[in-house]
C-alpha cells in the first residue's frame, strides 16, 4: 500500500481510511519502522508493531469507525489534521475531537502525535479497553 509518489496528506488520508475499517495490514504498511507514535495523554511507541499494540486493543470493542478530517494543513512533509474520530460501540456512537500531527517521508509516516482529552473518551469507553 505504500505509495512513495503520494503527497504526505494523501498518505495520512490513506492511513486513516484503512484504520477506519480496521485494516491493520494495509494501514501499517504506511508506518515507518522508526515511526514514533504518541497518544499525548497516554504514551509513546515505535514502529508498526508499536502502533498496532496500542490501536488493536483500543479498537476491539468498535463495530464501526469514522475519522472525519475537519481541517487539514500540509507544509512540506508535515500534515496537521483536526479530526472528529467517531466510534460505534454496542451502546452507540462515541465522538472524540483529535488534533493529529504527522511527518511523512517517502510515503511512510515517520512521526504521529495525537492530542485529545483522555477523559472525554474514557468516560464513554467500555471498561475492558480502559
Catalytic residue list: 85, 114
Q: Residues 84, 93: contact at Cβ < 8 Å?
A: no
Q: Which residues pair with 92 in a beta bridge?
A: 89
Q: Output 20-28 pairs: Cβ under 8 A, ≥24 positions apart.
A: 20/65, 20/66, 20/67, 21/65, 22/59, 22/62, 22/65, 24/52, 24/55, 24/56, 26/1, 27/1, 28/52
The CA angle 115-116-121, to the nearest 5 degrees, is 150
Amino acid at each position: 500500500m505504500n505509495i512513495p509518489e503520494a503527497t504526505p496528506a494523501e498518505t495520512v488520508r490513506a492511513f486513516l481510511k484503512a484504520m477506519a475499517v480496521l485494516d491493520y495490514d494495509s494501514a501499517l504498511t504506511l508506518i515507518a519502522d522508526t515511526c514514533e507514535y504518541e497518544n499525548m495523554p497516554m504514551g509513546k511507541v515505535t514502529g508498526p508493531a508499536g502502533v498496532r499494540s496500542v490501536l488493536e486493543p483500543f479498537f476491539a470493542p468498535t463495530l464501526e469507525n469514522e475519522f472525519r478530517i475537519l481541517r487539514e494543513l500540509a507544509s512540506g512533509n508535515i500534515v496537521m489534521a483536526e479530526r472528529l474520530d467517531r466510534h460505534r460501540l454496542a451502546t452507540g456512537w462515541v465522538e472524540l475531537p483529535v488534533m493529529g500531527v504527522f511527518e511523512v517521508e517517502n510515503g511512510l509516516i515517520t512521526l504521529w502525535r495525537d492530542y485529545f482529552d483522555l477523559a472525554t473518551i474514557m468516560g464513554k469507553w467500555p471498561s475492558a479497553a480502559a
